[in-house]
Structure 1
Amino acid sequence: MSATADRAAQFHRFHHDGVLLLANGWDAGSARLIESLGAKALATTSAGVAWAQGYADGDRLPAQRLIDVAAGIARAIRIPLSVDVEGGYSDDPAQVADTVAALIDIGAVGINLEDGGAGPERLCAKIERVKTAAARLGVPLYLNARTDVYLRGLAAEGERVEATLARAARYREAGADGLFVPGLTAEHEVRAIAAGCDLPLNLLACPALPPAAELQGWGVRRLSAGSDLAQSAYARLADLAGGFLGDGDSRPLQARAMDYGRLNALFDFA
């Protein structure tokens, strides 16, 4: 079995042992730092990756730019890498599969693939083509199917559990390995979906959610930071840069800075 296939199998196992916590990175530097803090795996945030490359989030990033960023991350870390590919940057399932195959070639072992505002048929077709491509490459890719039933309000309140489970069943049949439901927070709904979807359930970090130990009891198996880390980093940068540009005061720049030597050592690969 190849090293990539080994890491893919490891990534699958992580979803069946407690709650997998994913602090999402957006470039090689953030990924390497997150790995150094004890992360078991690294997932990207599509928003953070897009912003760092000068693009808006929402399938606006050229697929080749995503592949290049992922290649840089794969070079910098030794833990399993999962890449958020949004809707696949194409409506053509074959093209989506080609993009994912390129990501597998650089070492990715998981992806997020979302339905957005579309019906489930399109995502099912993409899942099937992607899983076929992964099998051809000999890698048990972990495909986390994201449904935006809650995030985009694709069903009326009171009908969202049923709508999510209906989509989950179709995505599971198409080959999905996990279910990601951003915007889902209510305990009774989380428990119902976790029990009924027959897939490891992934939630998006939110102040309304309890800590991971309690979420595990609800049936959750993965919790993602999403774009929050990138947004917080940009907020800190805006505060510091804005202040410096305003008055030229050097003191705040070092007040909470990481040590140069510690940072540089993270990237001193043998």
Structure 2
Amino acid sequence: MNQIEKAKAFHALHRKGDPIVLYNIWDAGTAKAVADAGAKALATGSWSVAAAQGYADGEKLPMPALVETVKAITNVIDLPLSVDFEGAYSTEPAGAAANVARLVEVGAIGINFEDRVVDGSGLHPVERQAARIRAIREMAEGKDIPFFINARTDLFLAESDLSKHAGLVDEAIERGRAYAAAGGSGFFVPGLIDPALIEKICAASSLPVNVMMRAGAPDLKALARLGVGRVSYGPGPYRSMMEKLKQDAAAIYSQL
């Protein structure tokens, strides 16, 4: 498939009630492993990509290193690839669009794009984030790529007290509608695991809703019944693999 075909195929995989499942990768090797396991599309996780190269999350990984990682993946795997691009390494709409264009140039067909202020506090105002999404959409349209912008809100991830999540749902719905109007393709609500709240957001969203798997989250079949259109695993796969690596290494060194 060429890049446009991959982008169209990726869009088609997002179906409410029949979600695409993305087991997040961090380099070409893990991309091949997950592809060989039967994945229909691939997605990186920013935490994992950064950690694999010795950096913390939060745009600490130099952007050229991220671009090279994306290029390495698309060079060896013929599946749609979405990139977790955090805040696009720019608070300005034009800068964000220019940076996303670099990912398009190396074969990416989508991004996660979050509304938290990276290296700051809180979230970008709705209008500000919508302007950034709009700029990315205009850039992609200029390249004739039906680019998938998975618009992420960090409302729930930033609030560790799960009992307060119900009070954030109305704002999340408002943000989702604004992001959709600006050109978003999906709505990502990491941190949210309450089934009733997930169902409420899915019902209110015109976009397919992305839920991230974490402890306490409903299983895949339950998420499908709630109307979810995309399920991702974030840093979970990386952490699991690194723990297995440490255990195996420790078993060897303990024999010395």
For normalisation by structure 1, the TM-score amounts to: 0.87
Residue 230 (1) aligns with residue 238 (2): yes
State the alpha-carbon separation in 1 of the partners of residues 62 and 93 from structure 2: 16
Deviation at 1:157, TM superposition (A): 4.0
Deviation at 1:208, TM superposition (A): 1.8
Q: C-alpha root-mean-square deviation of aligned residues, in Å?
A: 1.7
Deviation at 1:154, TM superposition (A): 9.7
State the alpha-carbon separation in 2 of the partners of residues 233 and 122 from structure 1: 37
SS in 2 for 1:104: helix
State the alpha-carbon separation in 1 of the partners of residues 49 and 128 from structure 2: 24
Tell me the equivalent position of 1:118: 123
Residue 159 (1) aligns with residue 164 (2): no
Tell me the equivalent position of 2:119: none
Instruction: Decide whether the 8 Å contact of 1:61 with 1:89 is kept in 2.
Output: no
State the alpha-carbon separation in 2 of the partners of residues 11 and 241 from structure 1: 38
Deviation at 1:125, TM superposition (A): 2.0
Tell me the equivalent position of 2:189: 181
Equivalent residues in 2 for 1:233-252 (5 A)?
233-248=241-256
Tell me the equivalent position of 1:29: 29
State the alpha-carbon separation in 2 of the partners of residues 110 and 157 from structure 1: 28
Q: Which amino acid aligns with 1:10?
A: A
Instruction: Decide whether the 8 Å contact of 1:142 with 1:177 is kept in 2.
Output: yes
Instruction: Decide whether the 8 Å contact of 1:148 with 1:154 is kept in 2.
Output: no
SS in 1 for 2:193: coil
Tell me the equivalent position of 2:7: 8
Q: Structure 2: where are the runs of 5+ without partners?
A: 117-121
Equivalent residues in 2 for 1:143-154 (5 A)?
143-153=149-159
Q: Which amino acid aligns with 1:12?
A: H
State the alpha-carbon separation in 2 of the partners of residues 22 and 33 from structure 1: 13
State the alpha-carbon separation in 2 of the partners of residues 20 and 100 from structure 1: 23
Deviation at 1:16, TM superposition (A): 2.1
**Structure 1 pair 51/157, CA: closer, same or farther in 2 (3 Å)?**
closer
SS in 2 for 1:34: helix
Deviation at 1:210, TM superposition (A): 2.7
Instruction: Decide whether the 8 Å contact of 2:130 with 2:179 is kept in 1.
Output: yes
Structure with greater contact order relative to length (CA < 8 Å, sep ≥ 6): 2
Instruction: Decide whether the 8 Å contact of 2:213 with 2:234 is kept in 1.
Output: yes
SS in 1 for 2:11: helix
Instruction: Decide whether the 8 Å contact of 2:193 with 2:218 is kept in 1.
Output: no
Q: Structure 1: where are the runs of 5+ without partners?
A: 249-270
Deviation at 1:93, TM superposition (A): 2.0
Tell me the equivalent position of 2:101: 101
Deviation at 1:240, TM superposition (A): 2.1
Instruction: Decide whether the 8 Å contact of 2:187 with 2:207 is kept in 1.
Output: yes
Deviation at 1:247, TM superposition (A): 3.2
Q: Which amino acid aligns with 2:148?
A: Y
**Structure 1 pair 157/110, CA: closer, same or farther in 2 (3 Å)?**
closer
Q: Which amino acid aligns with 1:121?
A: E
State the alpha-carbon separation in 2 of the partners of residues 153 and 235 from structure 1: 27
Residue 139 (1) aligns with residue 145 (2): yes
State the alpha-carbon separation in 2 of the partners of residues 185 and 228 from structure 1: 15
- The percentage of counterpart residues that share the same residue type is 38
For normalisation by structure 2, the TM-score amounts to: 0.92
Matching residue within 159, 164, 177 for 1:169: 177
Instruction: Decide whether the 8 Å contact of 2:166 with 2:197 is kept in 1.
Output: no
Higher radius of gyration, 1 or 2: 1
Deviation at 1:62, TM superposition (A): 1.3
Residue 203 (1) aligns with residue 203 (2): no
